[in-house]
């Protein structure tokens, strides 16, 4: 992908299980002469980065891990801050530490560990594990009729509810992507079946040589985003529909639209358009507003 000019500029999305492999191949390609593009690889994870001290859990993890690397007698890492310098190792250390914290809580009651049967039953007895400010669960087994509709977690073993989204920049260091995290609602137990829909990308034109049009488009954009906010709670999320304003002249608008379509995916054009723009194919026009009257005739928009 990286050595073929047709795909070299593409962005690669990968789950955490493939992160190490993808980074190893990427490093090898860059070492072989491929241009390094910061942020070209984006991966997901199930826990925060080891350097992300906005979480109280990570602050405690750092204290515990430094003490372990210093005093446990382990021989793998000479640097007690290794987890801050190698993002991949640090992320896995956090995952292991969280697993240990959860196991400690699961074994924390004498009643639950009196025998194997009791312990297994307790794991799915409406359990939620809270590690400082990181939440794992809910877990639930079989429920009585009607319990699920009243808030019980039934037949649910999906674990964490937050997906951490990272990109890799200079020196292949991990940072959070602009949107950071995706939190799955507690009402959605089967997170593995969640469908992520593509963004609907629109453009509108600010015709700088026609001042009234520029003012009109500015107001149209405010209405667009205002209406979108109203519907977010019910129909869409804030990132599912976007609209970019492009500055151009009346005569240059068709070429500007064509160049934009070649550079990115454009699903629709809204607002003021010219007759020449309507002749273009491969894009939908939603309620287009023309600069001059014209005879009405059927046309797909």
Does the pLDDT at position 161 exceed 90? Answer: no
Mean pLDDT of the chain: 85
Q: Is residue 194 part of a domain?
A: no
One domain, residues 9 and 84: yes
SS3 286: strand
193: left (phi over 0), alpha (psi -120 to 50) or beta: alpha
- Domain assignment of residue 144, yes or no: yes
Q: Is the pLDDT of residue 295 over 80?
A: no
Please say if the pLDDT value at position 13 is more than 70: yes
Q: What confidence tens digit (pLDDT) does each residue in 259-282 have? A: 999 888 899 998 889 989 998 888
Q: What percent of the chain has pLDDT over 70?
A: 88
* pLDDT for the residue 237: 47
Q: pLDDT tens across 170-182, in order?
A: 999 999 998 788 8
Q: Give me the number of domains the chain comprises.
A: 2
Is residue 135 assigned to a domain?
Answer: yes
Torsion angle of C-alpha atoms 262, 267, 271, 273, degrees rounded to 10: 50
The residue segments making up the domain with residue 215 are: 200-290
Question: What dihedral angle (degrees, nearest 10) is formed by the CA atoms of 110, 114, 118, 120?
Answer: 90
For residues 272 and 289, is the Cβ–Cβ distance under 8 A?
Answer: yes
Confidence check: pLDDT of 147 > 50: yes
**Greater pLDDT, 291 or 225:** 291
Same domain, 212 and 176: no
Contact assessment for residue 44 and residue 165, using Cβ atoms and an 8 Å cutoff: yes
191 is a domain residue: no
**286 with 171, same domain?**
no
Domain end, chosen from 183, 215, 244, is at 183
Q: In this structure, are 86 and 13 located in the same domain?
A: yes
Beta-carbon contacts of 14 under 8 Å, excluding residues fewer than 6 positions away, are 22, 41, 42, 43, 44
Higher pLDDT residue, 168 or 228? 168
Domain boundary among 127, 152, 183: 183
Q: What pLDDT digit, counting tens, does each position of 46-72 carry?
A: 999 999 999 999 999 999 999 999 999
Residue 58 lies in a domain: yes
**Where is pLDDT greater, at 184 or 80?**
80
Residue 220 belongs to some domain of the structure: yes
Has residue 235 got a pLDDT over 60? no
pTM of the model: 0.68
Q: How many CB atoms lie within 10 A of CB 107?
A: 12
Predicted confidence at residue 239, as pLDDT, reads 56
Whether residues 119 and 207 fall in one domain? no
Q: How confident is the model at residue 100 (pLDDT cuts 50, 70, 90)?
A: very high
Q: For the chain, give the percent of residues with pLDDT over 90.
A: 44
Question: Does residue 168 sit in the same domain as residue 93?
Answer: yes
Q: Are residues 13 and 115 in the same domain?
A: yes
As a whole number of angstroms, the distance between CA 120 and CA 123 comes to 6
């Amino acid at each position: 992908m990286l050595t073929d000019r047709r795909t070299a500029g593409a962005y690669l999305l990968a789950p955490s299980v493939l992160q190490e492999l993808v980074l190893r191949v990427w490093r090898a390609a860059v070492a072989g002469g491929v241009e390094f593009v910061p942020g070209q690889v984006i991966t997901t994870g199930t826990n925060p980065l080891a350097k992300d001290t906005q979480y109280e859990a990570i602050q405690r993890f750092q204290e515990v891990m430094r003490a372990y690397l210093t005093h446990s007698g382990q021989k793998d890492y000479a640097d007690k801050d290794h987890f801050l310098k190698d993002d991949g190792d640090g992320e896995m250390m956090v995952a292991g530490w969280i697993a240990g914290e959860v196991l400690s809580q699961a074994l924390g009651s004498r009643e639950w560990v009196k025998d194997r049967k009791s312990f297994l039953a307790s794991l799915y007895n409406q359990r939620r594990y809270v590690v400082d400010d990181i939440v794992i669960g809910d877990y639930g087994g079989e429920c009585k009729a009607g319990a699920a509709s009243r808030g019980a977690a039934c037949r649910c073993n999906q674990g964490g509810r937050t997906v951490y989204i990272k990109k890799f920049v200079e020196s292949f260091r991990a940072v959070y992507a602009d949107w950071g995290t995706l939190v799955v609602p507690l009402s959605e137990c089967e997170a593995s079946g969640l469908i992520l829909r593509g963004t609907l990308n629109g453009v509108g034109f600010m015709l700088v040589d026609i001042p009234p049009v520029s003012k009109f488009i500015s107001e149209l954009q405010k209405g667009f985003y205002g209406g979108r906010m109203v519907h977010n709670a019910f129909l869409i999320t804030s990132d599912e529909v976007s609209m970019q304003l492009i500055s151009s002249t009346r005569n240059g608008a068709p070429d500007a639209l064509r160049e934009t379509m070649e550079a990115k995916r454009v699903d629709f054009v809204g607002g003021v358009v010219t007759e020449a723009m309507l002749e273009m194919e491969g894009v939908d026009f939603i309620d287009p507003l023309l600069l001059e009257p014209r005879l009405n005739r059927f046309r797909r928009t």
